[in-house]
Structure 1
Amino acid sequence: MKTVYDVQQVLLKYGTLIYTGDRIGDLELMDMELYELFSYRFIEKETYMIGKLILKKEIARLKGTE
């Protein structure tokens, strides 16, 4: 995984599609869903950690705190 799109594809694989119209809100919901998949052991730790990092970087970029 390298992009937010890649994280979306992982979530979509498990039936989760997130679009609320608020980009930061979408990213935060994606982060929560990624955690749920990891906590139920649907995804591996490496996939979870990489996805979380990608989402956090994008949230920071959008908020201008990078």
Structure 2
Amino acid sequence: MLEATVGRPYVLYVHGGSDTTGAIRGVESIATGLKWKRLREPLSIVGAVDAAAREVCWELGATAAASLMAG
């Protein structure tokens, strides 16, 4: 079943209290193994989420949606 996802695009958002390095590394390792295509650099937010962070998250989601719509 996972073979059906080879080549699919993905984006990554990670929010952490003090560090997101390990989480990003783990997800990227899995994505590499599944041969997924990263659309943008991972978005890492550490600490409180403010309006600017929400805007960047919205843009990340829009990028993913546009990619999926394009096929």
What is the TM-score normalised by the length of structure 2?
Answer: 0.37
Higher Rg of the two aligned structures: 2
- Name the structure with the higher strand share: 2
Bigger helix fraction: 1
TM-score after normalising by structure 1 = 0.38
